[in-house]
Amino acid sequence: MIFSKLYSATLRLAPFAMLACLLAAGTARAQSVNSAKISPDLSAGLRKTNSGKRVNAIVQFNRTPGRVLENLLLNLGGKVTLKLRNLNIQAVSLPPEAVEALAARDDVRYVSLDRPAAAAGHVSTTTGTDAVRVQTTYSLLGLIQTTTVYDGSGVGIAILDSGIDANHTSFKNDLGATRVVASQDFTGENRTDDPYGHGTHVASIAAGNDQISSGAYTGIASNARLVNLRVLNSQGVGTTSGLLAALDWVLTYRAFHNIRVVNLSLGTPAVDSYRDDPLCQAARRLVDAGVVVVAAAGNEGKDGNGQKIYGQIHSPGNEPSVITVGASNSFGTDARGDDAVTTYSSRGPTRSFWTDAAGVRHYDNLIKPDVTAPGNKVVGAAGAGNYILATHPELNANVSTYTTRRMMYMSGSSMATPIAAGAAALLLQVNPQLTPNVVKMILMYTAQPLAGFNMLEQGAGEINVEGAVRLAKLVRSDLTQFTSVGAPLLTGAAPQPETTLAGQHFSWARGLILNHAYATGTDLVTKYQRVYGAGFVLGDGVVEGQSEQSANTELMTNGVALGPAVMTSDGTGLGGGAIFLDASLLLGDGIMIGDGIMIGDGIMIGDGIMIGDGIMIGDGFLRAQSILLRGDDTACMR
- What mean pLDDT do residues 33-38 have? 76
Q: Is the peptide bond before 436 cis (omega within 30 degrees of 0)?
A: no
Q: What percent of the chain has pLDDT over 70?
A: 84
Domain limits, the chain: 123-475+599-623
Q: Does the structure show a pLDDT above 70 at 623?
A: no
Q: Does the structure show a pLDDT above 70 at 420?
A: yes
Q: Does the structure show a pLDDT above 80 at 411?
A: yes
With contact defined as beta carbons under 8 Å apart, do 342 and 608 qualify?
yes
- What mean pLDDT do residues 323-352 have? 92
How far apart CA 116 and CA 204 sit, in angstroms, is 25
Q: Does the structure show a pLDDT above 70 at 288?
A: yes
Side chain identity at residue 349, one-letter code: P
If one counts every other C-beta atom within 10 angstroms of the C-beta of residue 2, the result is: 14
How far apart CA 339 and CA 392 sit, in angstroms, is 27
How far apart CA 595 and CA 421 sit, in angstroms, is 29
Q: What percent of the chain has pLDDT over 90?
A: 65
- What mean pLDDT do residues 416-424 have? 97
How far apart CA 564 and CA 544 sit, in angstroms, is 12
Side chain identity at residue 24, one-letter code: A
CA dihedral 316, 317, 319, 323 (to 10 degrees): 120
Length of the chain counted residue by residue: 638
Alpha helix (H) residue ranges in 167-277: 198-207, 240-253
DSSP letter string over 110-122? EEEE--EEE----
pLDDT confidence of 438, banded at 50, 70, 90?
Answer: very high
pLDDT at 135: 75
Q: Does the structure show a pLDDT above 90 at 419?
A: yes
Phi, psi of 325, rounded to the nearest 5 degrees: -120, 125
Q: Roughly what angle, to the nearest 10 degrees, separates helices 436-445 and 465-472?
A: 130
pLDDT at 301: 92
CATH superfamily of 123-475+599-623: Peptidase S8/S53 domain (3.40.50.200)
Q: Which of 257-271, 301-315, 575-589, 604-618 has the highest mean pLDDT?
A: 257-271
pLDDT at 15: 27
pLDDT at 120: 52
Q: Which residues pair with 519 in a beta bridge?
A: 512, 562
DSSP letter string over 10-28? HT----GGGTTT--PPP-P
How far apart CA 21 and CA 123 sit, in angstroms, is 42
Minimal CA–CA distance to 435: which of 372, 381, 494, 478?
478
How far apart CA 373 and CA 126 sit, in angstroms, is 10
pLDDT confidence of 591, banded at 50, 70, 90?
Answer: very low
Helical (H) or strand (E) element with 423: helix 413-430
How far apart CA 159 and CA 459 sit, in angstroms, is 24
pLDDT at 343: 93
- What mean pLDDT do residues 352-379 have? 92
H, E, C per residue of 594-635: CCCCCECCCCCCCCCCECCCCCCCCCHHHHCCCCCCECCCCE
Distance in angstroms between the alpha carbons of the first and the last residue of the chain: 30
pLDDT tens string 453-506: 999 999 999 999 999 999 999 999 999 989 999 999 999 999 999 999 888 999
pLDDT tens string 216-255: 899 999 999 999 999 999 999 888 999 999 999 999 999 9
Q: Does the structure show a pLDDT above 70 at 554?
A: yes
DSSP helix/strand/coil, 475: strand
Q: What angle do CA 229, 231, 232 make, to 5 degrees?
A: 130
Helical (H) or strand (E) element with 571: none
How far apart CA 330 and CA 2 sit, in angstroms, is 38
Q: Which of 47-61, 540-554, 608-622 comes out lowest in average pLDDT?
A: 608-622
- What mean pLDDT do residues 520-540 have? 97
DSSP letter string over 341-376? E-TTS-------EEE-TTS-EEE------SEEEE-S
Phi, psi of 587, rounded to the nearest 5 degrees: -85, -15
Mean pLDDT of the chain, nearest integer: 84
pLDDT at 317: 96
What are the distances in angstroms from CA 36 to CA 5, 44, 188, 364, 437? Answer: 21, 13, 32, 16, 31
Q: Which residues pair with 134 in a beta bridge?
A: 149
Q: Does the structure show a pLDDT above 70 at 310?
A: yes
What are the distances in angstroms from CA 359 to CA 27, 40, 131? Answer: 7, 11, 54
